[in-house]
Amino acid sequence: VQLQASGGGLVQAGGSLRLSCAASGRTFSSHALGWFRQAPGKEREFVAAINWSGGSTDYADSVKGRFIISRDNAKNTVYLQMNSLKPEDTAVYYCAARRTYATTLYGMNRDRAYDYWGQGTQVTVSS
């Protein structure tokens, strides 16, 4: 699976952005997907994950209630809708995939759980 993230940009605090991650291949629907982010000088951190069917989602506490992860298996794409953005959301955002039909997302908040990574898209939130 090859992943291509897009949709990043510069936005003012309180604004919104929607990130997309398009995947190649015919096995997209058999993969759990996640979004991670890395700010300058910080470690990469978990943002959100969604299981293969879209029936289960998980979020970091820092984005819960503001971000929404979703997927469209017909379009081989996962989305991250980011609302009420804060300057601390500024980071490079990465999408990742792991082939699994698990219903739960146990352990999927760890980057080592994923097999495939996209190239990242920059999100900058100005105050």
Looking at residue 93, its pLDDT comes to 98
Residue 25 has pLDDT above 90, yes or no: no
Three-state secondary structure string covering the chain: CCEEEECCEEEECCCCEEEEEEECCCCHHHEEEEEEEECCCCCCEEEEEECCCCCCEEECCCCCCCEEEEEECCCCEEEEEECCCCHHHCEEEEEEEEECCCCCCCCCCCHHHCCEECCCEEEEEEC
pLDDT band at 1 (very low <50, low <70, confident <90, very high): confident
Q: What percent of the chain has pLDDT over 70?
A: 100
Each residue of 2-14: pLDDT tens digit? 999 999 999 999 9
Give 29-82 pLDDT, tens digit per residue. Answer: 899 999 999 999 999 999 999 999 999 999 999 999 999 999 999 999 999 999
